[in-house]
Structure 1
């Protein structure tokens, strides 16, 4: 059965975009998909291509062999954490009904995300738009539920989650990506926020350090989401929860189209995409290529100076605005004192671990920058992030963690940045 796809266009109007068919083999694995735009959508003022793989053309559009799911739909599917929740929920339901668990497919994951919390502007239906999938299993939790959500996430991570834990977490949304537990909560004004929860295995206060890093990014002239640090007391002591307001939602519940960098560059599963390639691809798709190119360069400088290792094509995003796609606020930036994680290389075939800021400067033309202007950006970001330790103390972070994090923030690129800006 074809899935009806509707989308919120810039300006707030909801339109019928077309129909999606998913092709599964006998084992339930996704082998391809086909999308067809609705004729009326192709004639609608303000209609846009949902992703580069889906140009605004009539007739069926098949997926490529190495990308069986179109990027715009892959981006609003659950990632590791959300899939874990759906797997556990199905297992518990099957046990309660005394039956074997159903093997979940990509279609189940796509349609299993709660409509209200689904990432981006898409809405999906199997009954011609009468109802949108998935219908709410329960109300989206409020901020006051954060302690209970934290306890539930810890229980699920340790494979001892109850039915109540799963119901609470699934109601809080499953489409936020990544492996860390994330939930969507509602504030007293009805606005949606994403909450990143702690894990029992964390070696430092991950959420507090991400909050600090976002604050530094703002000082460096990078757009960030509205963010708060919320602390709760639990059995293991005080835990931090990072709250960021959902930037894919506007007042009145209007939805904003979202596309990951992975979808923008049409990355294949085993492919490695570098920043130079991303910058050049962005120039072809952005509604404001000069501003976005310069901003992307500033973000890469920032990433190198704070040793952000949570750095891959899923952790850069683009929002659909009236003029086209443009960079979303910065998200998922995690400094790490250990530099063994593979990250996005700066240029094709570049080093994925020891990334040097001089190499980035060599590619500044791909971001639309002259060398002198690029060096100035390096100086500005270096100066803005130099006060990281003072900010950490203002946030009451432990001295032991500050000493540990010096390995991240005082990495060789910082010394190099100072000499380049001199």
Structure 2
């Protein structure tokens, strides 16, 4: 069992995430004029932000690559230590690849290529398949006819680790804490793009800037780069390596289980339960974007890019049934350097984009800030 599954607060220790640290900031777009290449019509930053939110395409296909180099130390189960999870490791110090096909809201396919196999999610009309090559298993869902009446009419590009999702995270909390500018034109996957640059106004943040490459023709994000302060290369990059805006062939959305595949069929009640769960999650995400709040049992110290999340780690009965996770947590803490001060004592994890503090009194503090900011937050008991 992963420690990040058994102890949700610890998910903050792994910024698969580093694209999500930009959620702490926002964008004061104003009327900054995009200093685009002469070949591209001028667009203001405010116009480009609206473009991203309203972008629609009839179809597309492409390969998305996510790379990360956060400068983390070797951690058991994460970054190459004993018993490490290879796919998790690639989120923080490696590369992940996914393929996407889109031909309308009812024809969508996403293939995530992992170290241990491939996972595909395919929708073709009322049929939805989830196939996992590892274990040769598939689940078939049948969408009720009335379900389509309530679906969003925008392309389903907001899947984990896509440029669209990373851009949405960057733009979710628009406020004056961020300086927004443009650097002219960029090239991503061979296509012309405008480039927006988001920079924290608070110098306490470890994030130097976030760059969004926006397709000049279709206005969807082609790539998002997250830079640590004073860095020349991105710590995290999520971008199309190849993309086509032609409508994919229908055969891309036809799934026939390979011989030997174990097929489970989910009944309508299960599907409805999943749909309701997804709708609630979506509403919660919208509410959080409108009025960010810390998860239950946590608090946030500070604001914007320099905010620090403070959470209590489960103890006693709360930790029962998660022995593997507890052992992994202990192994991680054991390799981290000891730190102490007037706030108490604990273990410190540092990377290019974030710092995390595990205190001996059972708290975890995480932020895109230097350790000193964590110590200040830890003192506020």
Question: TM-score surpassing 0.5?
Answer: no
TM-score, length-scaled by structure 1: 0.21
Q: Counting helix residues as a fraction of each chain, which structure ranks higher?
A: 1
TM-score under structure 2 length normalisation? 0.23
